[in-house]
Amino acid sequence: MRMAVKSLYFWVLIGVIGGALLGSLHPELGASLKPLGDGFVKLVRMVVGPIVFCTVVLGIAQARDLHQVGRLGIKALVYFEILSTLALILGFVFAHLLHPGAGLHISVQQLDNASVGKFVDAAHAQNVTDFLFNVIPTTIPSALTSGEILQVLLVALLIGFGAAIIGDKAAPLINVVEALSATLFKVVTFLMWLAPLGAFGAMAYTVGKFGWAGLAALSQFMAVFYLVCVMFVLIILGTVARIAGFRITHLIRYLRTEIVTVIGTSSSESVLAVLMGKLERLGCQRSTVGVVVPTGYSFNLDGTCIYLSLAAIFLAQALDVQLTITQEITLLLVAMLSSKGSATITGGGFITLAATLAVVPDIPVAALSLILGIDRFMSEARAVTNLIGNAVATVVISRWEGEVSANTLTNNLAAPTLTAPT
């Protein structure tokens, strides 16, 4: 019991449970605690950009083989595309097997166009050209202040390659970046002890604001979504993990504090910096962690992909719309592209779904209003699935590169979680 009380996981779990209870018993008070959750996420995001920058620069500058870094990037993108496609297909398959929207018989006249207008506008405003240009920062310093992970990654890659090429002349810069990295990770350790408070406020807000009453009508859709996410993690990611020489359940246990924090805050970004540190402690090289994790946070969104395909078919079923095979294949192909295009946008899941539905006029985009009220409850599953998917991707690619052995992984996965500072 004494060890449990010293565990960050224990206190985050207490925060999540306490927030849910407060939101249920005192909805107005719970809804007013939103700043606690937002403040914690904002604090962590404050250091994410600099940490990604330091990790990538150090990883590449200290790499012995620059060709390996390029190979890592290609392997990561291929892996992301394969797993994302499997996630999309799994959502389609279970939507047809379990029919979560059957029997609702919603008419178009019942839809609320106004409530989803901002998501539709954002979906129309975002295109491939905008996405690509958004990766390029205005200046190098602005990349670290914009909050855009891909901008940070681009600048870090360029500086890292430059430092690696000039060699010893870059040593003073590398020493500064290394000292800054160590300092920032220590800052993150301090900030994570605010996670219980952040999780408490965010969960109290979610339950207090949206309540449980509105979930009954759409509970079947939620249940199917959670089921598919669990199956994807345990079966598909579990199989990938076993092939790579480790157990998915051991990785989940190792990341349990981060998973509970994500559940409480509904944001996988709240643990990005901590995830990078824990993956390095598992034995993954800094260059691998620095390339795979930030890229994965924009391109490896397994939970979001499941949501896109499942939600699209659910809405068609709820509106009694019969989709043709051609329309479903079109939805699948568009979702594969749109899931990347708006990955870094606030409300990205809903914006991406709006962009995907736009290619099938038979499903009005206003149908999004049906699931708008429960999206907050589903975002936790999306974020947790995305988190685990990126952790698995990093470990698997590290194994492919021969950076860490199966025995080392097994031993490191049994390492104790973060405890209270003494």
Reduced 3-state DSSP string for 178-217:
HHHHHHHHHHHHHHHHHHHHHHHHHHHHHHHHHCCHHHCC
Burial class from Cβ neighbours inside 10 Å (0-12, 13-18, 19+) for residue 381 reads buried
Q: Which percentage of the chain shows pLDDT scores above 70?
A: 84
Contacts of 190 (CB under 8 A, 6+ apart): none
More confident site: 382 or 109: 382
How far apart, in whole angstroms, are the C-alpha atoms of residue 382 and residue 321? 26
Q: Which percentage of the chain shows pLDDT scores above 90?
A: 19
Q: Say if residue 223's pLDDT is above 70.
A: yes
How far apart, in whole angstroms, are the C-alpha atoms of residue 389 and residue 152? 21
pLDDT the model gives residue 205: 86
- Write out pLDDT tens, residues 124-144: 545 556 666 777 888 888 888
Give 418's pLDDT tier (boundaries 50, 70, 90): very low
Helix (H, G, I), strand (E, B) or coil at 174: helix
Q: Which residues lie across from 419 on neighbouring strands?
A: 7
Helix (H, G, I), strand (E, B) or coil at 316: helix
Q: Say if residue 341's pLDDT is above 60.
A: no
How far apart, in whole angstroms, are the C-alpha atoms of residue 198 and residue 192? 9
Quick check: 295 and 78 in contact, CB under 8 A? no
Structural tokens at position 204: 């109290």
Contacts of 385 (CB under 8 A, 6+ apart): 229, 232, 233, 302, 303, 306
Nearest to 375 by CA among 344, 400, 354, 359: 354
How far apart, in whole angstroms, are the C-alpha atoms of residue 276 and residue 288? 10
Give 421's pLDDT tier (boundaries 50, 70, 90): very low
Contacts of 399 (CB under 8 A, 6+ apart): 244, 245, 406, 409
Quick check: 98 and 226 in contact, CB under 8 A? no
How far apart, in whole angstroms, are the C-alpha atoms of residue 178 and residue 58? 7
Give 279's pLDDT tier (boundaries 50, 70, 90): very high
Which residue intervals of 99-136 are DSSP H helices?
117-125, 128-134
pLDDT the model gives residue 422: 36
pTM of the shown model: 0.83
Out of 109-113, 267-271, 308-312, which region has the weakest mean confidence (pLDDT)? 109-113
For 4-130, where are the E strands, in sequence order? none
Residue range 54-60: mean pLDDT, rounded: 85
pLDDT the model gives residue 116: 53
pLDDT the model gives residue 306: 92
Asked: is 2-413 a CATH 3.20.20.60 domain? The reply is: no
pLDDT the model gives residue 111: 62
Helix (H, G, I), strand (E, B) or coil at 7: strand
- Write out pLDDT tens, residues 1-40: 454 456 787 888 888 889 889 988 888 898 898 888 888 8
pLDDT the model gives residue 217: 61
Number of residues in the chain: 422
Place of tokens 């295009």: 341
Highest mean pLDDT out of 9-18, 248-257, 368-377: 248-257
Q: Which residues lie across from 7 on neighbouring strands?
A: 419
Contacts of 218 (CB under 8 A, 6+ apart): 370, 371, 373, 374
Q: Say if residue 268's pLDDT is above 90.
A: no
How far apart, in whole angstroms, are the C-alpha atoms of residue 411 and residue 85? 32
Residue range 397-414: mean pLDDT, rounded: 89
Quick check: 305 and 84 in contact, CB under 8 A? yes
pLDDT the model gives residue 215: 64
Chain-centre distance for alpha carbon 299: 10
Q: Say if residue 317's pLDDT is above 70.
A: yes
Q: Say if residue 278's pLDDT is above 60.
A: yes
Quick check: 55 and 289 in contact, CB under 8 A? yes
pLDDT the model gives residue 346: 43
